[in-house]
């Protein structure tokens, strides 16, 4: 009998998008699947929408608001699947995403293997999404993954992964860090528990960006969110060092800290002192965080603070403009034709 796949969807104030997400999950061409939605104390119409889909293969769990990690752990507690697909309430899966990965699962037959896929970022129209590229989108050993992630500041989105139950149990539960990088910390543990990553480029998913109600965004204050990011960073480094303790791995960890310094510098002095101490313990030193190459010229003319402000502001303005255009196209496509 084919392995059962559980599609796990935490949902919070998701009435605008959750129907589309659920339809993409239920519409997977892989037949032996179940869908579990955890309504995490939504204050809008999310529960009413998802209840319409309840069936023998679609389980709806309602709980008081407890945060993304708790909602994911609740979904996991109800899952019966041999393999698990995590899916946020506003993201989408291509109809054959799971079946493409399960072909490789059945061929390889190793529950210690972890399976990744390709993904696009989009605002409203998935078919207008931008396909992600990068050195993590390939077959990798656990150490290859960590060195690439740490040295090149790379990442993969949560929807990319298909994880066996055995690996999930070895990695442990989601931690209630309330960090923007909760998924990065979690999948560091999953990767470390695996025997390697099999990349399936035909297994496609879609990450909706710019939605501040998503579980991908922290709902805590900015300072609390930064504290949580620091803790997730510390934990990622500990997982890496548990796999390999060497001069190269320590240097990679310092680079990882340097790439994250930009979020804390210069205002969060207490957290900065912790980061500098971590770098020193690793045998490195940190000063000002690096800026993107094309903002270095701005720094030379206007100084670091203004260059940093430009680096934050200009991409946001560009993204807001692109989002507005995409929304216009999306709204037009939904209007009835005359």
pLDDT tens digits along 124-137: 999 999 999 999 99
Q: What is d(CA 88, CA 68) in angstroms, rounded to the nearest whole number? A: 9
Q: What is d(CA 34, CA 191) in angstroms, rounded to the nearest whole number? A: 24
The predicted model gives 2-12 an average pLDDT of 97
Q: How many CB atoms lie within 10 A of CB 335?
A: 7
For residue 218, name the pLDDT band (cuts at 50, 70, 90). Answer: very low
The pTM is what? 0.93
- The string of pLDDT tens digits covering residues 193-209 is 999 999 999 999 999 99
Q: Which residues contact 269 (CB under 8 A, 6 or more apart)?
A: none
Name the CATH topology of 5-208.
Spore Coat Polysaccharide Biosynthesis Protein SpsA; Chain A (3.90.550)
- The string of pLDDT tens digits covering residues 277-315 is 999 999 999 988 888 888 888 788 888 888 888 888 888
The predicted structure's pLDDT at residue 137:
98
Q: Are 176 and 215 in contact (CB under 8 A)?
A: no
- The string of pLDDT tens digits covering residues 222-264 is 899 999 999 999 999 999 999 999 999 999 999 999 999 999 9
- The string of pLDDT tens digits covering residues 57-91 is 999 999 999 999 999 999 999 999 999 999 999 99
Q: Are 35 and 25 in contact (CB under 8 A)?
A: yes
Tokens at residue 299, please?
């720094």
Domain boundaries, the chain: 5-208, 222-281, 293-334
The predicted structure's pLDDT at residue 213:
54
Nearest Cα residue to 46 out of 11, 4, 86, 76: 11
> 155-191: string of b/e by CB count within 10 Å (b at 16+)?
bbbbbbbbbbbebbeebeebbebbbbbbbbbbbbbbb
- The string of pLDDT tens digits covering residues 94-123 is 999 999 999 999 999 999 999 999 999 999
- The string of pLDDT tens digits covering residues 13-47 is 999 999 999 999 999 999 999 999 999 999 999 99
């Amino acid at each position: 009998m084919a392995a059962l796949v559980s599609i796990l969807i935490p949902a919070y104030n998701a009435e605008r998008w959750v129907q589309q997400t659920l339809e993409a999950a239920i519409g997977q061409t892989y037949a032996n699947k179940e869908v579990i939605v955890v309504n995490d104390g939504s204050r809008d119409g999310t529960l009413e929408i998802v209840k319409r889909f309840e069936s023998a293969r679609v389980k709806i769990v309602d709980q008081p608001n407890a945060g993304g990690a708790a909602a994911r752990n609740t979904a996991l507690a109800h899952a019966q699947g041999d393999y698990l697909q995590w899916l946020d309430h506003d993201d989408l899966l291509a109809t054959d995403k799971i079946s493409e990965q399960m072909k490789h699962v059945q061929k390889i037959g190793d529950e210690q293997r972890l399976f990744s896929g390709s993904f696009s970022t989009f605002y409203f129209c998935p078919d207008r999404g931008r396909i992600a590229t990068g050195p993590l989108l390939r077959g990798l050993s656990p150490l290859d993954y960590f060195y690439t992630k740490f040295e090149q500041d790379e990442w993969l989105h949560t929807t990319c992964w298909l994880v066996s139950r055995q690996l999930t149990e070895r990695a442990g539960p989601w931690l209630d860090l309330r960090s923007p990088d909760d998924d990065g910390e979690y999948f560091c543990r999953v990767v470390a528990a695996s025997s390697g990553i099999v990349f399936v480029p035909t297994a496609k998913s879609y990450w909706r960006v710019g939605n501040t109600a998503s579980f991908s965004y922290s709902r805590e204050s900015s300072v609390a969110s930064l504290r949580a990011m620091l803790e997730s960073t510390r934990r990622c480094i500990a997982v890496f060092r548990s796999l390999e303790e060497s001069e190269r791995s320590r240097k990679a960890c310092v680079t990882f800290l340097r790439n994250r310094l930009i979020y804390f510098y210069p205002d969060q002095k207490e957290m900065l002192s912790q980061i500098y101490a971590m770098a020193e313990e690793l045998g490195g030193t940190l000063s000002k965080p690096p800026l993107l190459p094309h903002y270095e010229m701005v720094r030379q003319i206007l100084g670091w603070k203004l260059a940093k402000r430009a680096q934050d502001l200009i991409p946001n303005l560009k993204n807001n403009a692109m989002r507005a255009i995409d929304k216009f196209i999306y709204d037009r496509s939904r209007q009835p034709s005359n």
